[in-house]
Homo-oligomer: A and B are copies of this chain.
Amino acid sequence: MSKLEFFKLKTREEVLALYHRFSPVGAEEVDLAGALGRVLARAVPAPEDAPPFPRASMDGYGVRAVDTFGASVGAPQYLEIKGEVPMGAVPDRPAGPGEALRVPTGAMLPPGADAVVMVEYTAEHPDGTLEVRRPVAPGENVLQPGEDVGRGEVLFPAGSLLRPQDLGLLAALGVTRLNVHRRPRVAILSSGDEIVPLHQQPQGGQVRDSNAPLAAAQVAQWGGMPTLLGIVADDFSALKNALAAALAAADLILISGGSSVGARDLTLEAIKALAGAEVLVHGVALRPGKPTILAAIGQPPLPLLGLPGHPASAAVVMEVLGRPLLARLAGLGASQSWGGEVMALLSRNLAGASGREDYVRVRLRREGESLWADPVLGPSGLLSPLVKSDGLVMIPLGVEGLLRGETVTVRLFY
């Protein structure tokens, strides 16, 4: 009889509620060029207005809008062309009443002018007169100073994940150094007497370590820095020593436990024996993923996540519990994105797992206007169903199952 049965299983929500015990990692300064995908440790206010000056947003003529009122093809207004504003330069003269200056897109509007007449609605006459065939309103075809962003405005709060367009805006404002959280360092250990390293040919009964490379890639994809610490035998001292060593240089420890009950018990004992260890969770109401361990080690507490041995179970636990834990450590703000989820129609009935949140792998399929989620079934010891999938559908606790045609939320892998 598994010892797990004597533990009360924790729900996913209960596990996530424990993450507040762990602090986000510290900060560092990085150049804008290296800031893609990093998380701001401090809010960034705009150091100046963008744009910094009134800018033409069309090729045309800087004018006083009032001078164009009433203009039409039949009854144009005539203005006097007084020169041109070169790109990147300050206009050498203002635009007075009845006057126009040529302005290319992006150039500074001359003082006095309050609008740009698009070149399409004008004609230049040989005597230097501009024929204007359509009126412009004040401010038309002009970007006002601070219209994009005003000085002092908070561009991005702390906890923002920096995307390409965010870097574009920061560049426009001359923000070249950013205070971001370090990437969390994640130490990854595999245990199990049956596990051999990737480069070794397994002998009868042995298998290669696939959990560690899979978890490492997930960590890297989610912005962490994985370190593979190799394979530990199912031996109390070896496990304890390996975990203690891992703690020295990591912000999070992942240990993929042996898949048998005996190996899992040994892992748990080794965790408990670490100085300042507190086992917070031992068994989660998830399918797959029940034999998951969460512990806090030392002061300030470092998180340790014990993953199930089955490869597909480990991958799901990483998605459902590991990813939010990494996000917490990375300092990512709570509502930083809409969540990497899509709505789709379920293509077949699915029965739930009594007493557990059930995660079913699905493949997405477009059919006309509809997006279908096709369940990819298979035991959790197999990897190929995961490989054929785009994401996970959750059957909530206490729900008998989901029906074909029901709209479901698909949590995407990426």
Contact = CB atoms under 8 A, between A and B. Distances in A.
Nearest to A37: B221
A142 to B, nearest CB: 10
Nearest to A35: B217
Given A148-B384, A198-B176, A168 B371 contact: no
A40 to B, nearest CB: 13
A307 interface: no
A87 interface: yes
Interface in A256-274: 258-263
A119 B289 CA distance: 19
B213 A168 contact: yes
Given A36-B220, A165-B387, A193-B87, A207 B106 contact: yes
Given A104-B260, A381-B55, A167 B337 contact: no
State the oligomeric state as a number of copies: 2
Interface stretch (A16-24, A45-53, A238-246, A393-401): A45-53
A247 to B, nearest CB: 23
B206 A413 contact: no
Contacts of A228: 33
Report whether over half of chain A's contact residues are helix, strand or loop; otherwise say mixed. loop
Interface stretch (A68-76, A297-305, A362-370): A362-370
Contacts of A172: 207-208, 210, 311, 383
Contacts of A168: 210-211, 213-214, 217, 311, 315, 383, 386-387
Interface in A273-323: 309-311, 315
Contacts of A407: 369
Contacts of A14: none
Contacts of A339: 366
A163 B217 contact: yes
14 contacts: A2-B59, A106-B260, A106-B381, A143-B382, A167-B217, A168-B210, A168-B386, A168-B387, A169-B386, A172-B207, A174-B201, A338-B390, A339-B366, A414-B414
